[in-house]
C-alpha cells in the first residue's frame, strides 16, 4: 500500500485499524470470546471450549506472522511495543502478568472484554476502562509539573535492574538459531507450535461442533494478523523511494515541507497489532489534547473500533443492556481489578490479547512468560474466590 503523501498513508493506516477492530468487536460480542471466561470455564468446570478458542486465535496469528515474515511482508522486529527487544524484562512480564490475571478476574474481564461490554451498555465496564486508562497513562507519562511517572516511582528502581540482555532479539528463533538464521528458525518453530495447537484445538468433538467458538478464535487471530500486515505495509513514495510511516516520521525534517500533520509521537507508527491497556492510556492523552489529530494512534483507533463493533452487534441482536454495579462491594471489587489491570498491563507490556496473542505471535520469550503468568494469576484468584464462597456458605 503505497501513498503519495504521509497524510494519505496515515489516514489509511488509522481507518483500516478501526475497520479491523470493528469486526473483531462485533464478533467477540456475538461469540462471547472471553479470555477470562476461558480460564474460568477451565478452572471451575473443566470445560476447555473457550480456552481452545483462545488457543485457536494464537495459532492463526502465529502461523500467519511467521509465514508472512518469512516472505518479507511483516517486520515484527521493529514493533511497538518492542516484543522482541534484546532486554528480557522477565520480572516485569511475570509480575505484570500475575497482577493482570488477578485484576481481570476481579473486574469480570480483560481489557478487550471490558471494551466489548462497554459497547454493549455495561456501565461497570466503562468505569473499569476509565480507571485502567488513568493508571496506564501515568505509568508511561509524567505527573503534571513533574518528571516522575508511576513506573519510575513504584517500579523502575528495583524491577528494571532484573532485566537480562539476551542479545539482539529475545524471540525463540533468534535464541535457538542465532540472528542470521532467525527468520527460518521462526518459521519452523512457529509452524510446529501453531500446528500442534491446531491439532489440540480441533481434537475436541465438542469444539468442532461449536461454530461460535471456532468463529471467535478464527476472527480474533485473523484480526491480529491483519493489523500486523497493515501496519507493516503502509508506505509513502518520496522522489521514487518508499518510506514506511515510521521511517518518514523519523526523517520528517528532511522529507516533509512543514510540520503540518506531524504526529505527536512517531513510535505508534511502527509495525504492531492489537493490545488494549496502553491504548486506553493513550485515549486519556488524546482527550487531554482536545482530541488533536496529532495524538491519534493505532491503539486509540483499536479501542474505538472494538467498542463500536460491540455496540453495533448489540443493537442488531437486541442485546444492548444498561448494567450498573450490584452493590458497593461489587464496585470496590471492580475498581481494585481495574487498578491491577492498569499496572499489570503496562508492566507485562500487554494483556491477554496484547501479549497472549499479538506478543506470542512474535515468538518473544517475554510474551510467553506474561501469557502463563496471566493465566496463573487468574486461575489462583478464582480458586481463592471459590474457597471464600464455600467458607461463607
Cβ neighbour number for residue 237 with a 10 Å cutoff: 13
Q: What is the pLDDT of residues 246-294, one digit of tens each?
A: 998 999 988 888 888 889 999 999 999 999 999 999 999 999 889 999 9
In this prediction, residues 183-208 reach a mean pLDDT of 96
Cα separation, 295 vs 288, whole angstroms: 10
Please state, in angstroms and as integers, the Cα–Cα distance from residue 210 to each residue in 34, 52, 187, following that order: 15, 11, 30
Give the pLDDT confidence score for residue 190 in this predicted structure. 97
The overall longest dimension of the chain from CA atoms, in Å, is 74
pTM: 0.95
Q: What is the pLDDT of residues 2-20, one digit of tens each?
A: 888 899 999 999 999 999 9
- Res 391 pLDDT > 90: no
- Say how many domains are in the chain: 1
Those residues whose C-beta lies under 8 Å from the C-beta of residue 180, and which sit 6 or more positions away, are: none
Q: Which residues is 114 bridged to in the sheet?
A: none
- Res 393 pLDDT > 80: no
Question: Would you place residue 186 in the very low, low, confident or very high pLDDT band (cuts 50, 70, 90)?
Answer: very high
Cα separation, 248 vs 257, whole angstroms: 12
CA atoms within 13 A on the CB side of 352: 32
> Three-state secondary structure along 313-330?
HHHHCCCCCCECCCCHHH
> 19: domain range?
2-392
Amino acid at each position: 500500500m503505497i501513498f503519495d503523501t504521509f497524510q494519505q498513508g496515515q489516514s489509511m493506516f488509522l481507518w483500516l485499524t478501526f475497520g479491523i477492530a470493528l469486526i473483531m468487536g462485533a464478533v467477540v460480542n456475538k461469540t462471547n470470546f472471553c479470555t477470562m471466561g476461558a480460564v474460568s470455564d477451565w478452572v471451575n468446570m473443566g470445560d476447555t471450549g473457550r480456552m481452545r478458542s483462545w488457543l485457536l486465535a494464537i495459532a492463526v496469528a502465529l502461523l500467519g506472522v511467521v509465514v508472512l515474515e518469512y516472505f518479507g511482508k511483516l517486520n515484527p522486529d521493529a514493533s511497538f511495543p518492542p516484543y522482541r527487544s534484546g532486554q528480557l524484562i522477565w520480572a516485569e512480564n511475570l509480575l505484570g502478568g500475575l497482577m493482570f490475571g488477578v485484576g481481570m478476574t476481579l473486574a469480570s474481564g480483560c481489557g478487550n472484554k471490558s471494551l466489548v461490554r462497554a459497547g454493549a451498555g455495561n456501565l461497570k465496564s466503562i468505569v473499569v476502562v476509565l480507571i485502567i486508562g488513568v493508571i496506564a497513562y501515568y505509568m508511561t507519562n509524567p505527573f503534571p509539573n513533574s518528571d516522575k511517572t508511576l513506573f519510575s516511582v513504584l517500579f523502575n528502581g528495583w524491577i528494571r535492574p532484573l532485566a537480562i540482555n539476551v542479545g539482539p532479539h529475545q524471540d525463540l528463533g533468534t535464541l535457538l538459531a542465532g540472528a542470521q538464521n532467525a527468520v527460518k528458525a521462526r518459521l519452523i518453530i512457529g509452524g510446529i507450535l501453531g500446528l500442534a495447537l491446531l491439532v489440540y484445538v480441533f481434537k475436541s468433538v465438542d469444539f468442532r461442533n461449536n461454530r461460535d467458538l471456532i468463529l471467535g478464535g478464527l476472527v480474533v487471530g485473523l484480526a491480529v494478523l491483519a493489523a500486523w500486515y497493515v501496519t507493516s505495509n503502509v508506505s509513502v513514495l518520496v522522489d521514487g523511494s518508499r518510506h514506511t510511516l515510521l521511517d518518514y516520521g523519523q526523517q520528517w525534517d528532511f522529507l516533509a515541507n512543514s510540520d503540518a500533520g506531524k504526529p505527536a509521537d512517531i513510535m505508534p507508527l511502527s509495525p504492531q497489532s492489537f493490545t488494549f491497556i496502553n491504548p486506553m492510556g493513550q485515549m486519556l492523552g488524546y482527550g487531554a489534547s482536545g482530541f488533536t489529530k496529532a495524538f491519534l494512534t493505532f491503539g486509540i483507533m483499536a479501542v474505538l473500533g472494538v467498542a463500536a463493533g460491540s455496540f453495533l452487534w448489540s443493537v442488531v441482536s437486541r442485546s444492548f443492556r444498561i448494567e450498573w454495579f450490584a452493590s458497593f462491594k461489587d464496585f470496590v471489587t471492580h475498581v481494585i481489578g481495574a487498578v491491577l489491570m492498569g499496572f499489570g498491563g503496562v508492566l507485562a507490556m500487554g494483556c491477554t490479547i496484547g501479549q497472549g496473542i499479538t506478543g506470542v505471535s512474535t515468538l518473544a520469550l517475554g510474551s510467553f512468560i506474561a501469557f502463563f503468568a496471566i493465566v496463573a494469576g487468574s486461575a489462583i484468584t478464582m480458586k481463592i474466590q471459590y474457597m471464600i464462597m464455600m467458607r461463607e456458605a
